[in-house]
Amino acid sequence: MTPPPSARRGSSGVPRQTGAALLMVLLALALVSVTLSALTLQGRRELTRLELLQQETQAEFYARGAEIIARRALTDAAVRHADLWWQTLAGRPLRYPTDAGELRLVVHDLRTCFNLNALGGSQAALAQRQLRYWVANYAGERLTDMTPGEFVTRLADWIDPDNIARASGMDGADYARLDPPRTSADTWLRDPSEINWLAPLDSRRAERFSELCALPDDGPWRLDLNALGPGDLPLLDALFEGQVDRGALATLLRARPPGGYTDLDAVRQVLGGDATWLDRYGNRLRLTPDYVALDIRIRLADRHYDFQRLLLAEGTSAFYPRQPAARVRVLSRRSGYPSARLEAISNDAISTDAISTDAISTDAAGPAADNVFTQESP
């Protein structure tokens, strides 16, 4: 005879309780599994964050070392006699292999562009003529919405503080009535991209005028003859407003010694000694850098870090480039902005011997600061 169900299960219902306990165990295991997965993911994120923080700190130290190298180069008389230094100022990039990756450095002499802030300085009229000449003869097709004269006039109105518009210019309240409404800066430009705000509005205008820059200086426009390249001939022509033979200017760029011109007599010698224009306009040139930009890219593992520095070499002599600067000030430090000059670096960049983290020292007396430019290039 079959026993009743109560006899099969037992009076306490043990099989039913055993099933509930198993279910609770499974739920506990699932919860533990989810918790462990979350903790593992959080741990990985913390390790990644610490790794990134370590790399950023290391990159900052490398950038600081590159800055010290450049500052020492500007104040070291021995470096002024090294051809490598002058070739670097003329746009030749440097590449430093390091223990953890690579450092790429471009030392850029900023006296190779048109300083727009000269339009509001003591020789503003001359600067306006020079810029108008350059735009009309070499860059007029880049202005799709105004004439060269209007461009220069509106730019001068944008910079000067008088709020009085010139003929064919715009200033002050003129911009407040536009869409979008805005106002003129009435002071130095902080960045050449401000020319995008000139009427009519053009968000790509600055990209088409890479030869324009904005230095924190409203003195007369000057160009460093020792840093100009063949492509800078139009700027050199505009510096003299077309009053100097282009062939002579091209000769100066083409025949420049590897170590640069040492003085104005060396410039005259290249021209055959017959350069009366040099006596009249020679003060518009420089042979020595003062405003210098550093573009630094550091590769650590598979990540890149970009840094920019703006330096001012003080106490320099414009026509005696072998004399070092008395001191160097850092005017600005930026990070995280990729540089177009670094993007243009090709495989033929100068490569120094591999150097370790200790070689790029934050100590101003470190070995790299002393011999990077005076050592022989491999």
How many angstroms separate the CA atoms of 310 and 292, rounded? 6
How many angstroms separate the CA atoms of 33 and 5, rounded? 39
Domain containing 144 — which CATH number?
Answer: 1.10.40.60
Single pTM value for the model? 0.79
Note down pLDDT in tens along the chain; length 378 residues.
Answer: 555 555 555 455 556 667 788 888 888 888 888 888 888 888 888 887 888 888 888 889 999 989 998 999 999 989 888 888 888 887 788 888 888 788 999 999 999 999 999 999 989 999 999 999 999 999 999 998 899 999 999 999 999 888 777 787 787 778 888 888 888 888 899 999 999 999 899 999 999 999 999 999 999 999 999 999 999 999 999 999 999 999 999 999 999 998 899 999 999 999 887 788 998 999 999 999 999 999 999 998 888 899 999 999 999 999 999 999 999 999 999 988 777 666 665 444 555 443 333 433 333 334 344 445 655 443
The single-letter code of the amino acid at 272 is G
Decide if 11 is inside a domain: no
Report the chain's terminal Cα–Cα distance, integer Å.
104
Question: Which residues, 6 or more positions from 131, have their beta carbon under 8 angstroms from its beta carbon?
Answer: 114, 116, 119, 152, 155, 238
User: Which of these three, 211, 233, 257, is where a domain ends?
Assistant: 211
Whether 100 and 135 map to the same domain: the answer is: no
Whether 121 and 99 map to the same domain: the answer is: no
Whether 86 and 138 map to the same domain: the answer is: no
Decide if 15 is inside a domain: no
Q: What is the DSSP letter of 203?
A: T
Whether 294 and 207 map to the same domain: the answer is: no
Whether 124 and 205 map to the same domain: the answer is: yes
The single-letter code of the amino acid at 317 is S
Question: Which residues, 6 or more positions from 310, have their beta carbon under 8 angstroms from its beta carbon?
Answer: 291, 292, 293, 294, 330, 331, 332
Whether 99 and 123 map to the same domain: the answer is: no
- Could you tell me the two tokens for 104? 């790429």
Decide if 26 is inside a domain: no
How many angstroms separate the CA atoms of 163 and 356, rounded? 55
How many angstroms separate the CA atoms of 159 and 285, rounded? 24
Decide if 237 is inside a domain: no
Whether 127 and 192 map to the same domain: the answer is: yes
Whether 154 and 88 map to the same domain: the answer is: no
Question: Taking the mean position of all CA atoms in its chain, how far away is CA 258?
Answer: 25
Whether 147 and 65 map to the same domain: the answer is: no
Question: Taking the mean position of all CA atoms in its chain, how far away is CA 107?
Answer: 9
Domain tally, the chain: 2
Integer Rg of the chain from CA: 32
Picking from 111, 112, 77, 82, the residue whose alpha carbon sits closest to that of residue 94 is: 82
Picking from 50, 51, 44, the residue whose alpha carbon sits closest to that of residue 301 is: 51
**Residue that the structure tokens 């790399």 belong to:** 55
Q: Which domain holds residue 337?
A: 57-111+289-371
How many angstroms separate the CA atoms of 98 and 188, rounded? 40
Whether 139 and 188 map to the same domain: the answer is: yes
Whether 121 and 204 map to the same domain: the answer is: yes
User: Residues, the chain, total?
Assistant: 378
User: Which of these three, 161, 189, 211, is where a domain ends?
Assistant: 211
Which pLDDT does position 12 carry in this prediction? 53
User: Which of these three, 152, 176, 211, is where a domain ends?
Assistant: 211
The single-letter code of the amino acid at 59 is A
Which pLDDT does position 362 carry in this prediction? 36
Whether 199 and 145 map to the same domain: the answer is: yes
Decide if 86 is inside a domain: yes
Which pLDDT does position 354 carry in this prediction? 38
